[in-house]
Every structure is written in structure tokens, then in C-alpha cells.
Structure 1
Amino acid sequence: MIIQTSGGQLRLAANLKWMYTELPFEARFDAAAAAGFTGVEFASPYEFPAERVRELLDNAGLTQVLINTPGGPAGSATAMGTAFVPSAQTAFREGVERALHYAGVLGSPIVHVMAGLRPPDADPQLAFATYVTNIGWAAAQARAAGVHIVLEAINKREQPTYGLASMETAAAVAEAVDSGTVGVLFDVYHAQADRGNVIERFERLAPLVKHVQIADNPGRGEPGTGEIAYEQVLARIAASGYSGWIGCEYGPVGDTDEGLDWIERITR
């Protein structure tokens, strides 16, 4: 879905983990397409064979724009990823290889490599060194597969022990490893919840931003339900020359399609 802002055009992708939850997952593809979306993202396609997800995409005429690396079992120490866990490097590499296989079948150009939680008993410097080493290894695999990887920081209010401390740290790691292959996932919701100054931080990090996600704060609803001035934020993102997708990673406060009226306000 292409929208027009005062700064230029942007492409919106529906996040099928967060949107259309009133429908079974497999029905969300057609619903997103019927609403005008041409791209979708979701964290975990691994509950289905890759070929089945590809069939759902093709039947709805959709492009997969991003997936995450797999996490561990729900409630486990690695549920949000393994990159920061010194004892889990084998699991990390297996997860990256699985994600790149799915990305190849689905045609997803980007894989978000989840950092995971810092183990409470691990030396912080060792955990960070492990993370940088893991991202360097993942970058080499992704480069060979023709895929980009992105790194995302999660706000400390929700995940105080998440390994990746900030978007600025994500940018530093990308530059240290391979900024051609590795970039920043700029999540506007997490940026606002963490430190604010969304526009200033985006413009500073823009050369390294390879994907953007949006939701309002507080509440993580659609734009217009919180405090973020999305007309300005999206206009500045468009004016920056950003040509990637904007993932709508928000939980609609009501019916998903009815909530899309926020787009009219932006385009107006």
C-alpha cells in the first residue's frame, strides 16, 4: 500500500502477527490484500512449512518483506532470541540458517536477527562480544544468500534485560560488522517509549536504517491513538529518501480495517 505524505511517498506493509487477529492466521493474507496492502511482515513463519506460507502469499498477491529469526520456546530464556547468550551459539547459527531458508522460499529480502535477553549469570562484556561475533557470522551467511539483516532495540520499559541497549548501539554494531548487509530496524514505537526525539534520531541513523515499523505510544495502537505526531514523523521519513517498507506493527484498538482510517488523516 502506497501512501502520500507531505514529504513524499511511503510503502506500508501489514504485520500479520498484530493486525487482523480477529481472523485465523491463514485468512489474514487475503484480508490484508483486500484492504489494499501489497506487502506483509510477521515475526514467525515457522509454524507452517515454508512452501505453505509461499502459497498463501502468492494466492493473495502479496510480497513478504520481513521475518525474524526463530526464538526458543515461549517462556524460555531464549524466547526472544539467542544472539546474546554465550552458551547458545549453536542454536543461534541453526536459527539463522533456518531463517535464511525461509527467506529464500518466501522471497523476503530482510531478516530481523533477534538479540534476546542478557543472561543474568553472564558477564556483560562477554555477552556483548558474543553478540557482535554472532552478528558477524550471520552477516556472512546473509550476504551469501543475498539477504539483508536488521537489528532492533526494544524499549527498556517492556524488556529491561533485552540485550541490544539502543538503536544507536544497533547502528554501531552494523557499522563494525558490515553496514552493506546489516542495518537498523527503526521502530518508532520503541524509540518513543525509550528516549523520544524520534525524528532527530531517525535522521541521524537514516543511512543505516533498512526497515521501519510503526505503532503509537502509549498502548501500541494504530497511529493517531497516542502521543506520536505521525503526520510529521512519516513526512520526515519520506523526505529522507527512505525507500523501504513501513511495517504496521500495531495492535488495532478495534476492527483492523476500520482502524485504517488513520491513513486518510496522514494523506490529507
Structure 2
Amino acid sequence: MPRFAANLSMLYTELDFLDRFAAAARDGFQAVEFLFPYAFAPEELAARLHENQLQQVLFNAPPGDWDAGERGLACLPGREVEFRAGIHQALAFAQALTCSRIHVMAGVVPSNQRPEDCHSTYLENLRYAAAAAAWQGVQIMIEPINERDMPGYFLNRQAQAHALLDEIGSPHVMVQMDLYHLQVSEGDLASKIRRYLAGGRIGHIQVAGVPERHEPDVGELNYRYLFQLLDQLGYPAWIGCEYRPARGQRPHATSEGLGWLQAWL
């Protein structure tokens, strides 16, 4: 049976962030993920997880200056010291939250950098992150993100991600397969799920409706079929619900849109 984790950066946004843990637990979630924890003390987040009997399954390493448009540092030449500091900060949070997966965003390729320099910087940084994470038993995730939502992002397609894993050469780096991004960038989801799950290097899956990124039962994808397929293939990890509720931020907007989830709880 598929297991679903609420993404608290995108769900329950009608509530203050720290109140979202309890809301997710009330709706039947047993796990959560979010983008960035760094605005809060790790002890405070750990307490919310414990109080609500929730498991933390994923969060992102520091992405650089998010407000200025940065979307990760891994491929940016000259930012290696900042990247490494961010990895160690993320690993400290992972230890406090008992979280075994950290997504490392690749970054937007700068217009003044050669692609081959960004490529070599990315490999070096990911090897460093993998070696550091291995000591804690943490998996580093890399995620292809579609160029419609994030123009210029370094990593866009599943084949590219798996080729990078071959180059990085570490069992502590895996691919985060977001089915929303996969549909926008490539399509042919069922065959790609079969192909890449068989390779054993998919460490986390996320979902959202396409094209608006609302609930999984809204849009062009047949998620009931895809969830059944993941179950049949024995996908063992969590499925992150990284979508924007169609009802917006009105009271109970997230909970009212969870009818799709009830069959799977």
C-alpha cells in the first residue's frame, strides 16, 4: 500500500508553519516533508514531530539566496565553500529530525559560466555531500525539475539524473522522481516508473496534479493507476504530496481536498 507524506511547505498554508504538523496528523498522515527547516530550531521541529507521532522523510539542503532567485548551489563554480557549509547544516538538522533523505538542489546555470564547468562542479560537490552523508546513513537526493517552472535549472530529465549517478559513483546518492515534473518534461510516466524503479536508484517519489500542480485527482494524470503500479512494483519508500491545494488558503482548504487520499489510508 502506498505511503503518503504531507509536504508542509505547500499543504496547510492556511496555518502557521508549526501548526501544520498537527493538522497533517489529524488528517491521517504519518509522515511529513518540507522544503527548508532553517528558520526554526531543530529541537522545536523535532518536538512537533514527536508530539504528533510523525516521521520526517525529506527536506532540502540550503539553496543559496532563494529570494534572489537562486535554486541551489551544487552546480555553481566558486560557491563550493558555501555549498559544503550548507551540507553540514542540513546533516545537523537531519540528525535532530531523524531524517534519512536530503534533497540537494542543483541550481540555475549562470549565463556567464561554461556548462562543462558547472557539470564538473556539480560532480565534485555531490561526491562531497555523499561522503559526508554516508557517516549518518543519510541518502542525498537529486531531482530533475521541469524548465517551465524553473527555467535554466541544471537538471531536467530522468536519463540525465541517472547518468549523473553513474558519474558520481556513490550508493549514497539517489534520484527523487517527482511525477509532476516528469510529466511536464517528458511524459510516458508508467514506462519510466517501471524502468527506473527496476534500477533500484529511486529514493523518493513526489506527486501533484498536472498542469496546475493541484491535488493528484485534478488534471490530466490517472494517479489511481500510477499508485497501483507503484504498489505492484513494490516501491518501498514514501510518496511526498508536494502540491498546491486548489482551494487556496481558505480555512480547511487542504483537508477539504484530501478526498483522493482516503482510499489509501
- Cα distance in 2 for residues equivalent to 1:180 and 1:115: 18
Offset from partner CA, 1:11-56 (integer Å, 9 cap, x none): 1000000100111101000000011111000010000011111111
**How does 1:56-205 map onto structure 2 within 5 Å?**
56-76=48-68, 79-205=70-196
User: What corresponds to 2:16 in structure 1?
Assistant: 24
Offset from partner CA, 1:164-185 (integer Å, 9 cap, x none): 1312211122233245211100
Structure 1: state its 5+ residue gaps. Answer: 1-8
- Cα distance in 2 for residues equivalent to 1:74 and 1:148: 23
CA contact (8 A) 2:74 2:83 kept: yes
Amino acid across the alignment from 1:200: S
Query: Which of 30, 38, 43 matches 2:35?
Result: 43
**Identity score, percent:** 39
Q: Which moved more, 1:178-187 or 1:252-261?
A: 178-187
What is the TM-score normalised by the length of structure 2? 0.94
User: What corresponds to 2:246 in structure 1?
Assistant: 253
CA RMSD of aligned residues (A): 1.4
Structure 2: state its 5+ residue gaps. Answer: 248-252
- Cα distance in 2 for residues equivalent to 1:247 and 1:65: 9
Give how far 1:160 is off.
2.3
Spell out structure 1 runs of 4+ moving beyond 3 A: none
CA contact (8 A) 2:156 2:185 kept: no
Query: Which of 218, 223, 232 matches 2:211?
Result: 218
How many residue pairs get aligned? The number is: 258
CA contact (8 A) 2:157 2:186 kept: no
- Cα distance in 1 for residues equivalent to 2:169 and 2:66: 31
Amino acid across the alignment from 1:53: L
